[in-house]
Structure 1
Amino acid sequence: MIQVTPSIAIDESEIEESFVRASGPGGQHVNKVSSAVQLKFDARRSPGLPNDVAIRLMKLAGSRLTLDGVIVIVAQAQRSQKRNREEALERLLELIRQAAVRPQIRRPTKPTKASKERRLASKDKRSSVKSGRSKPGMD
């Protein structure tokens, strides 16, 4: 079990790893070794995630989410397979930690009487400044 937060833990069997060849520079080494990691995690069917966290996680995943609800994370920045695995897992766990935080609900408030008066006073002042810029009338 991987402990994500004090209340959320996911089983290692829920995470599927596959290794592919990394793109980019690296010479002959990059052509021979499959060092890039493709990490797949089924957020929709994970028993370790509460339903609200899974919904927020799928929204946060964005383009990394497939139509089946599987999150795919590709890590290929490091030269070693082991470091790419660690990086991909850490990115997944960080995504789950972000989804575990409940967003604060905004409670709408009414403006105070003093703030309304300040707003109207500033509007009057601005109006007088602008009217002072106009051409004198024919009075």
Structure 2
Amino acid sequence: MNINVTPELTFRTARSGGAGGQHVNKVETMVEGAFNIDASTLLTPEQKQLLHEKLANRINSEGILQVRSQTARTQLGNKQEVIFKINDLISKALIPRKKRIATKIPKAVVEKRIQFKKRLSEKKQLRRGNFE
């Protein structure tokens, strides 16, 4: 059964699996939400491109982000869970990554490394020198 909310977001229901007895076998509580990224009027073309890159493993070949929920006992609860998951995925994907600022190695660290190398070199020199 398909339920259209907007041209961007559609829901499909099916019977949930797992424990629950006869109730599970007769009620369609599992909800699968499909968000059409390409048809979205809320997103800019740059945001759509970013979503396609960051959520590539969750988006099918038609550009639809699919999310499913069957944790709640009611269809309404699962529908709310699907909407929450879609919002969460999109908002996290649209957060820009911070650029890494290269830091300079402190002089004390460089000096410590050089001193360690000198001590190791002296130790090896002492081992080598007594065989003549």
Q: What TM-score comes out, normalization by structure 2 length?
A: 0.76
Cα RMSD (Å) of the superposition? 2.8
Identity of aligned pairs, percent?
29
* Structure-2 residue corresponding to 1:97: 91
Aligned length: 126
* Structure-2 residue corresponding to 1:3: none
Q: Matched residues in 1 for 2:34 and 2:18: separation?
A: 22
C-alpha deviation, 1:123, in angstroms: 3.9
Indicate the structure (1 or 2) with the bigger Cα radius of gyration: 2
* Structure-2 residue corresponding to 1:54: 48
* Structure-1 residue corresponding to 2:64: 70
Q: Matched residues in 2 for 1:58 and 1:129: separation?
A: 58
C-alpha deviation, 1:129, in angstroms: 9.8
* Structure-2 residue corresponding to 1:117: 111
C-alpha deviation, 1:105, in angstroms: 1.5
Cα pair 2:16 2:29 within 8 Å, conserved = yes
Q: 1:112 to 1:135 in 2, by over 3 A?
A: closer
- Corresponding residue SS for 2:55: helix
Segments of 5+ residues of structure 1 without an aligned counterpart are: 1-11
Q: Deviations over 1:63-92 (max 9, x none)?
A: 321011110001011110000000010011
Amino acid across the alignment from 2:81: E
Segments of 5+ residues of structure 2 without an aligned counterpart are: none
